[in-house]
Amino acid sequence: TPNNENWTYDLGAGGWGNNELQTYTNTSSNVKVEDGLLKIIAKANGSGYTSSRLKSQGLFQFTYGRVDVRAKLPASAGTWPAIWMLGANFTSVGWPRCGEIDIMEQKGWDKNNVLGTFHWQDSASDSYAGYGLEIEANTSTSEFHLYTLEWTRDVIYVLYDNEPYVTFANNSSLPFNADFCLILNIAMGGSLGGEIDPAFTQDTMEIDYVRVYQ
């Protein structure tokens, strides 16, 4: 299993999948290190689904820098893989006031593109705000690719294989100037997962490495 000094399990937020049908676990059937790769495995489990959600909350939190994650994504319809970050003050201020940065998400019905997205609470209107874009990634489920965040106090970039495709202007009114933690997970179904293939048995997101530079 992953090193518990660096990663723990479950968060109670995000990965808005079939929450009534999906359970996140830390069992070896759902998360393991094998052949030098971290494997997060979503599985059909009777009438529902299990997978794992790994987080660095309380163990490794940081402000600004570069994050590189080299990963291969699950191919099955209905899987919603995500490499993302949540404000470390989530438990005290809630979402979206804590801020969320999605370095990579992929829709369950579109395995040829990936998305980079920002979520926050707009201070002027005191309402939810979000901004994101997508890029073609037609070998994301068959080959490893690099998913990157470059984060400064002035601008934040989301990159795919070192190509920037989302540019976000940061400023002091936004929550993206404080500590965030990292999260890796597969959700099943839900708003970005969509309809799950009735024949689904299991699928995997493979992580070669997670690196943070500051």
Active-site annotation holder among 5, 20, 34, 105: 105
**Residue 37's pLDDT is what?**
97
> For the residues 96-108, what does the mean pLDDT come to?
98
Neighbours of 143 (CB within 10 A): 10
**Is 206 designated active site?**
no
First to last CA, the chain: 27
Higher pLDDT, 23 or 168: 168
Q: Give the chain's mean pLDDT.
A: 94
Among residues 100, 134, 143, 163, which one is catalytic? 100
Check residue 18 and give its pLDDT.
Answer: 76
pLDDT surpasses 90 at 125:
yes
Query: How confident is the model at residue 4, as a pLDDT?
Result: 79
- Strands 48-51, 22-24: pairing is parallel
Of 15 and 28, which is predicted with more confidence?
Answer: 28
The pLDDT assigned to 19 comes to: 74
Q: What is the pLDDT of residue 169?
A: 98
CA pair distance 194, 190, nearest whole angstrom: 5
pLDDT at 16: 59
Across the strands, what pairs with 36?
none
CA of 189: how far to CAs of 23, 59, 100, 106, 158, in Å? Answer: 12, 29, 20, 12, 24
**Backbone dihedral angles phi then psi of residue 161, each to the nearest 5 degrees:** 50, 45
The mean pLDDT value for 94-105 works out to 97
- Stretch (H or E) spanning 115: strand 113-122
Decide if pLDDT at 52 tops 60.
yes
Given a contact cutoff of 8 angstroms between Cβ atoms, the answer to whether 73 and 140 are in contact is yes
Is residue 13 pLDDT above 50, yes or no? no
The per-residue pLDDT for 8 is: 87
Instruction: Check pLDDT > 90 for residue 3.
Output: no
Residue 15 in this model has a pLDDT that exceeds 70: no
Amino acid at 177: N
Judged against a pLDDT cut of 60, whether residue 44 lies above it is answered with: yes
Check residue 14 and give its pLDDT. 47
Q: Is 20 a catalytic residue?
A: no
In this prediction, residue 40 has a pLDDT band, given cuts at 50, 70 and 90, of: very high
Mean pLDDT of 119-133: 97
